[in-house]
């Protein structure tokens, strides 16, 4: 279904969309939007004549927003139907090389609470030989994507979350013993020299 949508209010419900002032970059740019119906609302995909794309979510009145996110190019989008607050930051050397930063920040959710909204066919993965480590990423833009944490749960990179992350806070830093020499942890999250083991710590 393709139709134009008012970028400020939408045609119904509440429109939550981050446009980054697309018309400000190109005064002559025009934008069309596509509504992809979802449970409780619709995914809004905007395409400007200048080639810039924007993404957001229009949810129905009375619908409680869940966590939602997408990759850089918007090919892959997902939602989480659960209350999440704890962020885990892994500082191991493998995660550092994967992101090019001080590690990776993720939230952990039950498999039943996670849903792909679009682009599952664009999800690729790579496994590091001889190590129990695997990365999932968008084959279009390369963004790190959610993947299995264990048999029951998914990990979701916190940086992908674009809606509903107001209650998130870093609670645990893991593999701190492997962190980069320049990495200074400045928040109050509990630090673990190796993996997070709640039954022990």
Domains in the chain: boundaries:
14-65, 86-191
pLDDT at 1 over 70: no
Q: What is the pLDDT of residue 45?
A: 58
CA of 151: how far to CAs of 91, 111, 155, 201, in Å? 23, 8, 11, 22
Q: What is the mean pLDDT of the chain?
A: 77
Each residue's pLDDT tens digit, 26-48: 444 444 556 555 545 555 555 54
Each residue's pLDDT tens digit, 121-137: 999 999 888 888 889 99
Say if CB 98 and CB 51 are below 8 A apart. no
- CATH class of this structure's domain 86-191: alpha beta
Q: What is the pLDDT of residue 196?
A: 84
Least confident of 1-10, 25-34, 105-114, 158-167: 1-10
| Between residues 92 and 7, the one the model is more confident about | 92
Q: What is the pLDDT of residue 42?
A: 55
pLDDT at 12 over 60: no
Each residue's pLDDT tens digit, 158-192: 999 999 999 999 999 999 999 999 999 999 999 99
Q: What is the pLDDT of residue 41?
A: 55
Beta-strand pair 41-48/31-38: antiparallel
Each residue's pLDDT tens digit, 59-98: 554 455 489 999 999 999 999 999 899 999 999 999 999 9
pLDDT at 3 over 80: no
d(CA 95, CA 160): 16
CA of 166: how far to CAs of 37, 59, 67, 176, in Å? 25, 17, 10, 26
């Amino acid at each position: 279904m393709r139709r134009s949508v008012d970028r400020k209010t939408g045609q119904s419900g509440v429109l939550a969309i981050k446009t980054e002032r697309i018309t400000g970059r190109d005064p002559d740019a025009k934008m069309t939007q596509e509504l992809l119906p979802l449970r409780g609302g619709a995914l809004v995909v905007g395409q400007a004549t200048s080639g810039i794309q924007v993404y957001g979510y229009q949810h129905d009145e009375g619908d409680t927003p869940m966590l939602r996110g997408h990759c850089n190019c918007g090919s892959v989008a997902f939602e989480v139907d659960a209350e999440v607050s704890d962020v885990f930051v892994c500082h191991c050397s493998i995660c550092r090389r994967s992101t090019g930063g001080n590690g990776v920040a993720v939230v952990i959710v039950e498999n039943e609470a996670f849903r792909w909204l679009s682009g599952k066919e664009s999800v690729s993965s790579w496994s590091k030989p001889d190590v129990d480590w695997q990365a999932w990423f968008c084959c279009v833009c390369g963004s790190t994507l959610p993947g299995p944490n264990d048999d029951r749960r998914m990990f979701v990179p916190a940086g992908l979350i674009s809606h509903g992350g107001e209650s998130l806070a870093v609670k645990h830093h893991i593999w701190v013993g492997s962190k980069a020499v320049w990495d200074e942890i400045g928040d109050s999250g509990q630090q673990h020299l190796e993996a997070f083991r709640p039954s022990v710590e």
